[in-house]
A and B are shown apart, each in its own frame.
Chain A
């Protein structure tokens, strides 16, 4: 009624089209992503003003390289969270993979591909184990992967005797992975882009992605719609294992040797924080790779800025924890979740 009788209070020429054209763009990017872009611009501006070198190309590359490993783990963490799970053992998995890649490389007579294949195989195995414990052991994912966080870290330390293992920077492939550039961008960043793109396509364009969102959105309904939830969960955790292994290989390539813990510790927190900041609903069913990557960039820019400004790294930990909470608080506010019945 109202729409038919009230003419739009806009002039007939030009200006009328603008709001209509703007809204699709806005909805395509999403409100969450817009605020992330806003925050990223703010961070870049503030640190850019404080320090002349912050916005330099070299520093941008440093940020990108540092964010790559987090980014890989965050992208797969996003998939796990979308299907209603959580994996807090990703950092430890990367540690195991890092050690395995370097040790297999050495024992196979400096064969980089053997090192990488062994790491990915171990990653897949760990992922399947996680999935099986969660699905068939009916263990809550947080608990199962908390156990994994400790156990896989211990495994990496056992394998490596607690020390950095092997030396890989005499190998062209590892050097290329860790230091190489394609079209001005570090190879590591290209790998992140490739993995992120693949996961994005998987989530948005395939029936597999639809089913992953469905499982996280309503597992009972998904099961009754004929989706084999168990198979999906195991596969998703296996994917995490494989990608965590890639992250571990890159860690080896970057540091030059297999690192059981240094470099991979605390990555789970970063990955989960990035997913939450990027708009993943922690109860599942919601989230995008794009949002997560923006959040990874934001976290990376922030961390680098704080370091460049010489802020104590202990404070950076505090900032990380706070960010995770803030991200979830914003999310809960936005969805109105848990608003009813709680004391105001």
Chain B
């Protein structure tokens, strides 16, 4: 691996000349105690352009966004809007100035309609503070038309009925119909929970925003997307801006080099180490959400589970892990029946699950890396009921080192780590447990290229140690690179199975959308 020196060779000087229209951050430095999150970042976000913001997790992207949106105040430096400095003391200030962020998971009120969600806080009223339903209807129809969402968003749907993409649309409508027209809109990994089709709709919208002169900031880890969408690509590394490139004048490998400061092969190819011994044997498993699942995973095998959002993959994972009730069917692990409905018993039987939502389902954010790593193995670390501190520390340190978690110490609180490092802590917990079967649900969602490569390496190591792995991922290239075999699910059923030679993105997608293609046929069951 040759170590590049990007700031010397590939990048332009980070200082952009000031421009009038749009936003500009100037000399922004942000420190959290001893940690320097951003270091003298100067970046233009011109109106009518899509500026992609890239960087490994912990590079400072989120901090920069939070400064733009008034969540954080910069230690040094200032934010300018149309050439004039603006003082963003709170998110309300930023909103008033026309700076909006579309979070991955917008806050949606579940029990009220799309229309009421969009105009929350400024609902049309009749005398006596009664809701003016006619006016509300007129407004939402007009706005949906104007924004081109009329065919994707039904105004009478309730918040709880919306898909992730529709939730984002609601948030976007809030931004565009508010009192102040949005001048700057930042999308924070908007596509991580969207299906292909929804991504297309979102990108069409972003293009329209650009044409209207809005300065769009697009934070993403997905290269293809960035090249499809962005005009300019700004790369952050370790809190500093290491380059701003025109999208047309750069390549994927250039960007990766900039981000990680080293060459990295983006395509991951794993040496297959499959054995003949079936470890996990699932037969005709049915729960509330999945039906008649048959699945066998051998020692050393990596099975990829593909499908669209809502296909039931995570529900299958949770049912196997004992967290969702099983209606019928059998699951055996090493020939012994796997208990159902009892996560602790499942873990003791040798199955681990690193769930989809690492913050909500896996991590104790206010506890240390040590605590988070040891939680599933405390029974091996205790004498009587006392946890042996030394042994616990050593264990946490061992896995922190082995997984290259970037942290000053294992006594660091997990919430202070970046997404990629948090994911590594989740993996550390399961590696420490040494399961026979490990299910990884979206193990690389929202994490940077460097950390992804490390997680692929971990998966490969585990397979070589004879662990049976089930990897759920919505990123097909990743799944194609990792898996020995890909099982595709749709609507709670398996619609097919592809071996390494057969598996292509097209073949997987065809199975994942089998019903869309032929609504009457149940699809080719494996």
In whole Å, how far is A220's beta carbon from the nearest beta carbon of chain B? 5
Residues of A contacting B253 in the complex (Cβ-Cβ under 8 angstroms): none
Q: In the complex, are the beta carbons of A217 and B387 less than 8 A apart?
A: no
Any A CB within 8 A of the CB of B21: no
Closest-by-CB residue of A relative to B361 is A220
Kindly state the interface size class of chain B when it binds its partner.
35 or more
In the assembled complex, A179 has its CB within 8 A of some CB on chain B = no
Inter-subunit contact A207/B429 (CB<8 Å): no
Which chain B residue has the least Cβ–Cβ distance from A228? B344
How far in angstroms is the closest Cβ of chain B from A278? Answer: 17
Q: Are A224's CB and B379's CB within 8 A?
A: no
Please report which residues of chain A, range 211-242, place their CB below 8 angstroms from some CB of chain B when the two chains form the complex. 211, 213-214, 217-218, 220-228
Least distance between A214 CB and chain B CB atoms (Å): 6
Within 8 Å of chain A (Cβ to Cβ): is B451?
Answer: no
Q: Which residues of A approach B to under 8 Å, CB–CB?
A: 2, 205-208, 210-211, 213-214, 217-218, 220-228, 285-286, 340-341, 344
Residues in A neighbouring B371, C-beta threshold 8 A: 210, 213-214
Binary A-proximity of B349-393 (CB < 8 A = 1, otherwise 0): 000010100001111111100010011101101100111000000
**Distance between Cα atoms of A223 and B379 in the complex (Å):** 15
A-B contact count (CB 8 A): 80
Residues of B within 8 A of A341 (CB): 91
Q: Select one of A218, A226, A228, A344 contacting B376, CB under 8 A.
A: A226
Residue of A nearest to B386 (CB): A205
A and B contact pairs by CB, cutoff 8 A, 21 listed: A2-B36, A205-B387, A206-B386, A207-B378, A210-B371, A213-B367, A214-B367, A214-B371, A218-B363, A218-B365, A222-B364, A222-B375, A224-B321, A224-B353, A224-B362, A225-B375, A226-B348, A227-B344, A285-B367, A340-B71, A344-B92
Is B323 among interface residues, defined by CB-CB distance under 8 A? yes
Cβ of A227: which chain B residues have Cβ within 8 Å of it? 344, 375
Report Cα–Cα, A286/B367, bound state, in Å.
9
Q: How far is the CA of A341 from the CA of B347 in the complex (A)?
A: 40
Q: Which of B71, B92, B375 has the most CB of A within 10 A?
A: B375
- 3 nearest A-B pairs in the assembled complex, by CB-CB distance: A207-B378, A226-B344, A226-B347
Chain B interface (Cβ < 8 Å from any Cβ of A): 36, 71, 90-92, 321, 323, 342-344, 346-348, 353, 355, 360-367, 371, 374-376, 378-379, 381-382, 385-387, 429
Question: How near does chain A come to B155, taking the closest CB pair, in angstroms?
Answer: 24
Is the beta-carbon distance between A207 and B387 smaller than 8 angstroms? yes
Q: Which residues of B contact A217 (CB under 8 A)?
A: 364-367
Give the contacting residue for A207; candidates B346, B363, B367, B385; CB below 8 A: B385
Give Cα A210–Cα B373 distance, bound, in whole angstroms: 12
Pick the residue among A205, A221, A340, A344 that contacts B364 (CB under 8 A). Answer: A221
The answer to whether A207 touches B362, judged by C-beta atoms less than 8 angstroms apart, is: no
Name B360's contact: one of A2, A220, A340, A344 (CB within 8 Å): A220
- Min Cβ gap A193→B in Å is 20
- A114 → chain B, closest Cβ, in Å? 31
Give complex CA distance A227, B342 in Å: 9
Bound-state CA distance A149–B420 (Å) is: 47
Rounded to whole Å, the gap between the CB of A5 and the closest CB of chain B is 13
Residues of A close to B343: CB separation below 8 A? 223-226
> Roughly how many angstroms separate A199 CA and B396 CA in the complex, as a whole number?
26
CA distance in complex: A205, B383 (Å): 11
Q: Considering the complex, give the chain A residue whose CB is closest to the CB of B93.
A: A344
Is B429 a contact of A225 with CB atoms below 8 Å? yes
A221–B382 alpha-carbon span in the complex (Å): 21
Provide the residues of chain B in CB contact with A214, threshold 8 Å: 364, 367, 371, 375
Q: In the bound complex, what is the Cα–Cα distance between A208 and B90 (angstroms)?
A: 41
- A207–B36 Cα distance when bound, in Å, is 35
Say which residue of A206, A213, A224 sits within 8 Å of B361 (CB atoms).
A224
Complex: A220 Cα to B355 Cα, angstroms? 10
A6 CA / B271 CA spacing, docked (Å): 47
Distance in angstroms from A229 CB to nearest chain B CB is 10
B382 touches A213 (CB 8 A): no
Chain A residues contacting B344 (CB-CB under 8 Å) are 226-228
Say yes or no: A225-B365 contact (C-beta < 8 A), given A207-B387, A208-B385, A340-B71. Answer: no
Q: Judge whether A221 and B386 touch: CB under 8 Å.
A: no
- B91 and A285 contact, CB distance less than 8 A: no
Chain B residues with Cβ below 8 Å from A344 are: 90, 92
The CA-CA distance from A217 to B343 in the complex, in Å, is 18
